[in-house]
């Protein structure tokens, strides 16, 4: 049986399948990393130590205003 449920990525709000999605509840590794990065930055404020740069990962193709 196939689970065809879809979820909406909490970061980019794109619909994404629940099954076979290693990055759920996100649509992709990019969104997952952005969210984890933000969480880590807020949770552990370590001066001078960059885990990642979330701003550089925020390049969504559907951002066409």
Minimum distance of Zn ion from residue 60's CB (angstroms):
8
Separation CA 63–CA 6 (nearest Å): 22
Kindly indicate which of the ranges 8-16, 17-25, 37-45, 49-57 contains the residues binding Zn ion, using the contact rule CB under 5 A: 8-16
CB atoms within 10 A of CB 18: 12
Q: Closest CB to Zn ion among 21 and 41?
A: 21
Q: Closest CB to Zn ion among 24 and 40?
A: 24
Restricted to residues 20-59, the positions that interact with Zn ion (CB under 5 A) are 27, 31
Q: Is the dihedral of CA 38, 43, 48, 52 positive or negative?
A: negative
């Amino acid at each position: 049986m196939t689970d065809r449920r879809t979820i909406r990525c909490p970061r980019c709000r794109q619909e994404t399948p629940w099954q076979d999605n290693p990055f759920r509840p996100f649509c992709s590794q990019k969104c997952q990393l952005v969210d984890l990065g933000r969480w880590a930055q807020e949770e552990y404020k370590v001066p001078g130590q960059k885990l990642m740069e979330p701003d550089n990962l925020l390049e969504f193709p559907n951002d066409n205003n």
